[in-house]
Amino acid sequence: MTLTEINALEALAFETHFAGVLEHSPRYAAQVAAGRPYRSVEALAAAFAAAFTSDTPDAQLALIRAHPDLAGKAALAGDLTRESASEQASAGLDRLSPEEYAEFHRLNAAYHDRFGLPYVVCVREHSKESIFEGARRRLSNTPEQERRAALHEIGRIARLRVLDLVQEEGHD
């Protein structure tokens, strides 16, 4: 759908179309729908980021915790959202060696122990090597720094997901 078509959608259709932009958090799509019309796809994407960054700290933590561990149990069981499965595959996280799976398991456990959160990164902007490096580096963050880093990454993920869902005007 083009931006013109999206701006004209009924609220429920808009919410359905954009329900997967923020992981397991379709309620934000209703908030973004209420802000239409959007003048650009980037403005639409920014509205999703504004929706969660203006939310309560508890809601932000819930959004971060809604993200799956990278190459974790949900991925191995095939229980990821369609968006997360595609994104993890784009970085090769569905084709790891046993040693790499073990390293992700160790990093995921360290993240949960230190922050009570999954390690969230926009995997589409990284290679598996840079994902590993980023996780190791971010383990030295304070809890507040890590919360901000995770929210920043969620904004990047949401932007790319919005771009995937909106077709350029004049293109079929």
Which helix H or strand E contains 13, and what residues bound it? helix 11-17
Instruction: Look at residue 172 in the predicted model and tell me its pLDDT.
Output: 53
Residue 144 carries which side chain, given as an amino acid letter?
Answer: E
Instruction: Look at residue 122 in the predicted model and tell me its pLDDT.
Output: 94
Q: Averaged in consecutive runs of 10 residues, what is the pLDDT profile of the chain (172 residues)?
A: 97 96 94 97 97 97 90 59 77 84 91 95 91 95 97 97 89 56
Place of tokens 């974790």: 72
**What are residue 95's phi and psi, to 5 degrees?**
-135, 45
Q: Is 32 exposed, middle or buried (0-12, 13-18, 19+ CB in 10 A)?
A: buried
Instruction: Look at residue 52 in the predicted model and tell me its pLDDT.
Output: 97
Assigned token pair, 149: 């880093």
Residue positions annotated with a catalytic role = 67
Other Cβ atoms within 10 Å of 58 Cβ, number? 8
Q: Would you kindly state where each structural domain of the chain is located, as residue ranges?
A: 63-157
Instruction: Look at residue 44 in the predicted model and tell me its pLDDT.
Output: 98
Instruction: Look at residue 80 in the predicted model and tell me its pLDDT.
Output: 62
The CATH classification number of 63-157 equals: 1.10.3330.10
